[in-house]
Structure 1
């Protein structure tokens, strides 16, 4: 696994033409699934009326594992809503995220006052890029309003948004398929050895039963070293974890005070959406 600051080049097609960017020769690879986590810092806006991150699937696009660039089409929609709940949410559809060198953009299609438009809503600046076998992860991408993005949000919300104002941050993980070895040189055949016994991926919970408002810990083993996993509680994807060099991880999470009495599930998914492991726990009735 390699980790580097910043990001770089990705094919853009129509998006790069819209942005007036040139393409660069790069080892671009089609993505095989993934997701984007969009977090807004506490302020005047929320995503879908919640302070929690919005999760959007990466449905298609390309990435360059050599440089950390990307050009991704995102599925679903994002709903920007003011914390004051004074105007209807602004629906952002056809989201496309590009990162090219030291700059990037978030483009979207939306409608306001009966007028549909496509625009570059925000500038995206690189954070850290982690390249692993079969995938790339970007963390801490900074999202800043463009001139037209700030003008749109000001008209929609009735509040003043300035160009360059922060619009949260992105964490992105995509799959790029298995690495292939170069075929230009023969490889010596290693001596035969008994295959290692693989530990099946599994998760355990610190408490089989607890009260609402408590804290639970999920621990996993048998995963691929460096594998990025999504943790879903009762089908609600909340967290991202990365397996260590031994294929293990541990994550503590709150059991909400509003959790219903009865059985609940913790499920682990790969970045392409495939289920990896699951476990259950019970929530006791509150004492009156």
Structure 2
């Protein structure tokens, strides 16, 4: 089995090949360079169902919740486009229940209506969902030079979003259930600079000179047993992750486990090495569902199965006398 690089790539655009939705459209339109989305009322709507609502940085909580716009593309004159939001939503249900993390939040808007997309992990598998439909029937978007404001976008669960929340929480969510109100203002910055000009603070690419290392780059994982026999038990440990981050653990490209980083950013996951596992190198990769940390990994070697003895062969003795 060919060995693979331990640190695979930045999770931006690499999380289980989901990437950021609508990237092509974002390249064709002037890019979103500034703005925020304020989300109010959702905590009360969910609390009535026994679900608590929280966010991860760079989103912030105060009187409501505010998410910074971190990308996308915008046709200002048509008040349409895609707005990617920084941070993630974390939902907690009953005590001891696995939290549901909704990352990669993306608003797709056209006129006075649109959708809210999200990435999440269900049964250890990453998926992209249309979480909610959003609309502001009483007030259309306000367009000004280089920016658009959508006020009073009421969010309601889509059928897909209702199915997701119901299966996760065990409670009966249905399409049309309220998820609060969004107020969004975003801009392209094209009034101050030519379209296509370099951004003031361009996003550094891996390996580029002068790129500052992100705090999340310190995330690392290790295996207790670098070499073990088929049929044995392996333990994966990690540190440097965002506290509370939901992590997907893949073995040889197959996502099998979901773990949550503790308050110190650490986690541990035990897993069996199947008795029929091929001898040689095998790769383990860990991805944060939020997509804001590097995909990190490690390798281990599999030898002979447990209980099997390898015998050396030797020539039969000669019968000549």
TM-score for the superposition, normalised by structure 2 = 0.44
Q: Which has the higher contact order (CA 8 A, sep 6+)?
A: 2
The structure that is strand-richer by fraction is 1
User: Considering only CA atoms, is the larger Rg found in Structure 1 or Structure 2?
Assistant: 2
